């Protein structure tokens, strides 16, 4: 499987702007700029997209890990917070709130740690990955 996305940037780093388009067209000429990345401008930014990718990948991986252990979650609510410091993505902090009938706290922690270590986006990131996981 291969997926593509395209970025077009016009102008200087601080004063320019660009747009992103994904193969699926979920993003279709979605704007991004210095302001949307480093201030509070309208549009997306690479770190936000990495956070979305990491939270989505982790949630899906965890659902597969849970299925392998005999559990079906009612819901997995995952937030990823990406930290950009000195021009480097330093970390992704995952917060998981899960509703999983019949699972013990120990088995839940084991499954969540497995998903954290083995989701493809976790494997891609050269950053510290932390997890706060709770059953709700």
Q: What pLDDT digit, counting tens, does each position of 54-87 carry? A: 999 999 999 999 999 999 999 999 999 999 999 9
Q: Where in the chain is the domain with CATH 3.30.300.20?
A: 46-135
- For residues 63 and 76, give the distance between their C-alpha atoms in angstroms, rounded to a whole number: 8
- For residues 32 and 47, give the distance between their C-alpha atoms in angstroms, rounded to a whole number: 11
Q: Sorting pLDDT into bands at 50, 70 and 90, what band is 106? A: very high
pLDDT tens digit sequence for 32-51: 999 999 998 899 999 999 99
Supply the pLDDT for residue 120.
97
What's the pTM value of the predicted model, to 2 decimals?
0.94
Q: For the domain 46-135, what is the CATH code? A: 3.30.300.20
């Amino acid at each position: 499987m291969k997926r593509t996305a395209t970025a077009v940037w016009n102008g200087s780093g601080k004063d320019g702007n660009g747009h992103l388009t994904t193969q699926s067209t979920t993003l279709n000429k979605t704007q991004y700029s210095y302001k949307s990345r480093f201030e509070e401008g309208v549009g997306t930014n690479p770190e936000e997209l990495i956070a979305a990718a990491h939270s989505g990948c982790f949630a899906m991986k965890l659902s597969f890990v849970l299925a392998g252990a005999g559990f079906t979650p009612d819901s997995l609510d995952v937030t990823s917070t990406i930290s950009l410091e000195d021009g480097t993505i330093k970390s992704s902090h995952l917060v998981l709130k899960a509703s999983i009938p019949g699972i013990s706290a120990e088995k839940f922690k084991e499954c969540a740690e497995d998903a954290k270590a083995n989701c493809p986006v976790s494997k891609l990131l050269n950053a510290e990955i932390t997890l706060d996981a709770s059953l709700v």
